[in-house]
């Protein structure tokens, strides 16, 4: 956790930067400009912090909006700091969406300052934060931000986006609602695929061991015992004791495979494998999972549905279950 003193310093610096881009205009002016933009026929300028949010937005707005995603392929949002270009994108946007629950910890203060200019800024996890007992927490009572790993949870996030866009652009509200309903029907199919695939893994092998604790919602939703070397945020450091305890767990449960992540270095996972080998257990890398970022832009894995399809298919096949080699839609291109 940042100290109160650090937050004050960061907030002051962010305010100085933002006022430069605002041209020292007051919030009333920004609100007027925002409403004028919403009343025109030009596509909305929408900024999303992460790809999982941005991809859903693109499915909702269609031709009525252009979505700029700040944190792209293979980049860890826990450690990401807003660049000058990001601040420009934020200030030029008509509306901004972020995950919330401190995922964008380094950008949090910037987002707060942008919102004070009168620009609409939404955390897509707002509904879930108001839903009793949904959000997971760690030992220090920090929320787990990786809600997109539970498809039904991400369907709730979709509703926040639709409501916010409809409020800003009421003339296209019916289109946003219709597009969202079509998209959520695809998410329902994905949710069913995840449940059915994971259920084929032998019960004694339903252990998901990864680099950091990003798969808790997936584990809860689909029946996996999830263990991560690092905590909810990659800002935390994995200690020797953490790795040793996880090695003992691997050996005790005879877990055959562990998984690396696209946005995190694999050194700790390799240490697990070497430690297990020293105790006469051969553990392989079951595959590479998408945790805090999607795949390459333009690819199937570069969509939210493709990301989750890849993860579920990779996990299922590596742990002894049955899933199509190319996933739910036959579109997976990465190796499992």
Interacting residues of 208 by C-beta distance below 8 A, sequence separation 6+: 215, 218, 219, 224, 225, 226, 227, 259, 315, 319
Average pLDDT over residues 46-51: 97
Q: What is the pTM of this model?
A: 0.86
Lowest mean pLDDT among 31-35, 134-138, 224-228, 303-307: 31-35
Give strand pairing partners of 287. Answer: 259
Residue 258, strand partner residues: 285
List of domains in the chain:
4-193 (3.40.50.1980), 200-318 (3.40.50.1980)
Q: Tens digits of per-residue pLDDT, 227-255?
A: 988 766 555 555 678 889 999 999 999 99
Residue range 146-156, pLDDT digits in tens: 999 999 999 99
Q: How many CB atoms lie within 10 A of CB 45?
A: 16
């Amino acid at each position: 956790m940042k100290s109160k003193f650090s937050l004050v310093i960061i907030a002051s610096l962010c305010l100085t930067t933002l006022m430069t881009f605002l041209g020292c205009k007051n919030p009333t002016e920004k609100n007027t400009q925002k409403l004028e933009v919403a009343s025109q026929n030009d596509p909305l300028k929408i900024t999303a912090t992460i790809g999982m949010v941005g991809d859903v937005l693109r499915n909702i707005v269609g031709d009525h909006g252009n979505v700029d995603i700040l944190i792209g392929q293979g980049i860890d949002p826990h450690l990401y700091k807003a660049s000058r270009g990001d601040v420009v994108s934020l200030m030029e946007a008509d509306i901004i969406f972020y995950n919330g629950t401190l995922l964008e910890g380094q950008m949090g203060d910037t987002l707060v300052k942008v919102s004070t200019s009168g620009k609409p800024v939404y955390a897509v996890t707002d509904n879930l934060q108001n839903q009793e007992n949904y959000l997971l927490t760690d030992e220090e009572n920090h929320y787990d931000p990786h809600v997109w790993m539970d498809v039904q949870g991400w369907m709730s996030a979709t509703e926040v986006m639709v409501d916010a866009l409809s409020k800003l652009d009421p003339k296209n509200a019916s289109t946003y609602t219709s597009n969202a309903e079509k998209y959520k029907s695809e998410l329902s199919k994905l949710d069913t695929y995840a449940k059915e695939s994971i259920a084929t893994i032998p019960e004694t092998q339903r252990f998901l061991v990864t680099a950091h604790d990003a798969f808790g919602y997936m584990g809860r939703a689909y029946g996996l015992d999830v263990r991560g070397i690092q905590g909810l945020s990659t800002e935390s450091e994995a200690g020797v004791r953490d790795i040793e305890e996880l090695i003992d767990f691997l050996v005790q449960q005879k877990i055959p495979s562990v998984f690396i992540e696209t946005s995190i270095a694999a050194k700790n996972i390799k240490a697990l494998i070497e430690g297990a080998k020293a105790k006469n257990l051969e553990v392989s890398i079951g595959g590479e999972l998408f945790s805090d970022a999607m795949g390459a832009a333009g690819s199937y894995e570069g969509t939210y549905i493709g990301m989750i399809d890849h993860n579920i298919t990779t996990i299922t096949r590596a742990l002894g279950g049955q899933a199509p080699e190319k996933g739910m839609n036959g579109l997976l291109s990465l190796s499992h």
